[in-house]
């Protein structure tokens, strides 16, 4: 069964190289929540997402679960985000205790404070 085309996460929607992440860190605007640091910068082309998560956050299962939740939020809300933004998310230790809804709320709050989301 194929995924719907508007729900995919192709490589064109991802930050892939260390150069792209470094540019976001140097030039981007930051917003911190209790368990996430979100950095946004105007990019070239479409809106893209990059996720950094340390081993300090939890085991591999936990880290991959949090990454899936962040990607799912991005996929579902991509149309409401400003076009041409690069978004880098750094997950802080302690996020392992969060559930799916709490991760969504923190990510949404950070995007709202950065004025990237149209869900204001």
Distance CA(9)–CA(119), nearest Å, equals 21
What pLDDT is recorded for position 31? 94
What pLDDT is recorded for position 102? 95
Kindly report the pTM of this predicted structure: 0.86
- pLDDT tens readout for residues 75-109: 988 888 888 899 999 999 999 999 999 999 999 99
Residue 34 forms part of a structural domain: yes
Residue 119 forms part of a structural domain: no
Does position 2 have pLDDT exceeding 70, yes or no?
A: no
CA atoms within 13 A on the CB side of 74: 25
What mean pLDDT do residues 46-66 have? 93
- What does the mean pLDDT of the chain come to? 88
| pLDDT band at 5; cut points 50, 70, 90 | low
Distance (Å) of CA 81 to CA 24, 52, 62, 86: 17, 20, 27, 11
- Please state whether beta strands 29-32 and 36-42 pair in parallel, antiparallel, or not at all (unpaired): antiparallel
- pLDDT tens readout for residues 32-52: 999 999 999 988 788 899 999
Q: How far is CA 109 from the centre of its chain?
A: 12
Total domains in the fold of the chain = 1
Residue 1 forms part of a structural domain: no
Residue 3 forms part of a structural domain: no
What pLDDT is recorded for position 1? 45
E strands along the chain, which residues? 29-32, 36-42, 48-53, 85-91
Residue 117 forms part of a structural domain: no
Residue 29: domain span: 12-112
| Higher per-residue pLDDT: 9 or 39 | 39
Residue 118 forms part of a structural domain: no
Residue 76 forms part of a structural domain: yes
Say which CATH number the domain at 84 has.
3.30.230.10
| pLDDT band at 118; cut points 50, 70, 90 | low
Residue 120 forms part of a structural domain: no
């Amino acid at each position: 069964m194929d995924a719907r085309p508007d729900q995919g996460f192709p490589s064109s929607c991802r930050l892939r190289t260390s150069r792209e992440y470094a540019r976001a860190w140097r030039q981007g605007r930051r917003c911190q929540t209790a368990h996430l640091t979100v950095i946004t910068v105007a990019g070239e082309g479409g809106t893209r997402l990059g996720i950094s998560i340390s081993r300090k956050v939890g085991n591999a299962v936990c880290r991959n679960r949090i990454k899936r939740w962040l990607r799912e939020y991005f996929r579902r809300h991509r149309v409401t985000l400003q076009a041409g933004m690069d978004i880098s998310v750094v997950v802080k230790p302690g996020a392992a205790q969060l559930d799916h809804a709490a991760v969504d709320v923190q990510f949404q709050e950070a995007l709202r404070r950065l004025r990237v989301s149209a869900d204001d």
